Structure 1
Amino acid sequence: MRTARRRSIFLVLAALAGLFLSVPAASAHGTIVSPATRAYQCWQDWGSQHTNPAMQQQDPMCYQAFQANADTMWNWMSALRDGLGGNFQGKTPDGQLCSNALARNSSLDTPGAWRTTSLGSSFTMHLYDQASHGADFLRVYVSKNGFDPATQRLGWGNLDLLTQTGKYAPAKDITFPVQTSGAYRGHHVLFTIWQASHQDQTYMWCSDVNFG
């Protein structure tokens, strides 16, 4: 009797495992990998050594993000909201742009010495889309001169629009050029909106950059 019961439990567990393996990964989406978004940079630099105490001194912004919620970094590809209907500003309060107004990612809104990617006045942005959703468009802003990412939370009034792309067919890798006026110097924030061609899903991220 006991052996038969164990066999039945084993068969049920095996069936459930097969069911889960057959379901596509709903959380597989994407992010801007270059210049790296805040969550992606933290995952890339510290994901394999997230318990390393050196992070607190070497990269304090990633340290506070891991302390607040490590899931922010593990799920760097899933910073999306549904059903905004294009009303990005109306449904995303000032100070919550870098987290896409997701409470679980609120550490990404924290001002501080985020690590930066060095850029010139012209550069290429790279969206990595695990699920190949494609894009209705991508819109890229830069923080205005005078905005200090080390002490201020990003708001809509702190942004200059750089570019908005056209539509992209589904692909894992989407790259596109961005040109600035050349007037920006030092630490700035690139704020990107990705309107995915998949239902009404909107992604928003911050990438910290240093213009030479």
Structure 2
Amino acid sequence: MPGKLAFVPRRTTLLLAAVAGLGLPLLSAAPALAHGYTTAPPSRALLCSEDVVTDCGPIQWEPQSTEGPKGFPDAGPADGTICAAGDSRWAPLDDPRGGTWPAVSLTPGASFTFTWTLTAAHATTSFRYFVTRDGWDPTQPLTRDQLDLTPFLEVDYGGRIPPYSIAHTGTLPVKHGRHMILAVWTIADTGNAFYQCSDVDFGA
């Protein structure tokens, strides 16, 4: 199992410092202050922010900002825009890049601790984790018909506010080869949720 990653979005810090140095209102940088991203397994947004993957567009500055309508899978982002939470600013996250996104090795059926870093905590309904179906096509943007729509792990929060560093331990699905894990953090007191896509490999 890969080790947990400790991450502080350095670009966000530099951006805020630059804005302050120019004497501009910090309100103009407010989107960079919200909200959360997955660190284990690392999400596409995190990989972009850490320059592991390049040509990602503005998500490199805001890995925590993949926020879109909640209600997945019945509602939420449209098919093909799920990794970007339906927000065109983050569209590079939906680009499959020919199936070449870096993938973390996982052991099927093993215990695994999923982790998030939050930059703004919210009253929370749940954290849910979905995985792609066997035979899905990693060279195509993620759609609902490529996912097992029953989460393999769900952690209910009942409206409580989670800590800024979160860990959820569960059992990985029994899969083989390359897959994607979709983590959905559903907010209780707004109409939105946060979507994070992680590329993983369960081996032969």
SS in 2 for 1:63: coil
Partner of 1:186: 177
Partner of 1:4: none
Q: Which runs of 5+ in 2 are unaligned?
A: 1-19
- For the 8 Å contact 2:114–2:169, the answer to whether it is kept is yes
Partner of 1:52: none
- For the 8 Å contact 2:136–2:146, the answer to whether it is kept is yes
User: Quick check: 97-106 or 22-31, which moved more?
Assistant: 22-31
- For the 8 Å contact 2:186–2:194, the answer to whether it is kept is yes
Partner of 2:88: 103
Aligned Cα RMSD in Å? 2.6
- For the 8 Å contact 2:48–2:59, the answer to whether it is kept is no
- For the 8 Å contact 2:36–2:118, the answer to whether it is kept is yes
* TM-score under structure 2 length normalisation: 0.75
**Cα deviation 1:154-178 (Å, max 9, x = unaligned):** 1111112312211053310111013
CA distance in 2, matches of 1:158, 1:108: 16
1:121-136 aligned within 5 A: 121=109, 122-136=111-125
Residue number among 33, 36, 42 corresponding to 2:42 in the alignment: 36
- For the 8 Å contact 1:34–1:125, the answer to whether it is kept is yes
Partner of 2:4: none
User: Residue 129 and residue 197 in structure 1: after superposition, are their counterparts in 2 closer, same or farther (change >3 A)?
Assistant: farther
Q: Which has the larger helix fraction?
A: 1
Q: Which runs of 5+ in 1 are unaligned?
A: 1-13, 47-58
- For the 8 Å contact 2:127–2:184, the answer to whether it is kept is yes
CA distance in 1, matches of 2:27, 2:135: 51
Partner of 1:177: 169
- Which protein shows a greater Rg? 1
CA distance in 1, matches of 2:125, 2:30: 22
1:144-159 aligned within 5 A: 144-149=133-138, 151-159=139-147
Work out the number of aligned pairs and report it: 174
Residue 195 of structure 1 deviates from its aligned partner by 0.8
Partner of 1:139: 128
Matched to 1:176, the amino acid is H
Q: Percent identity?
A: 30
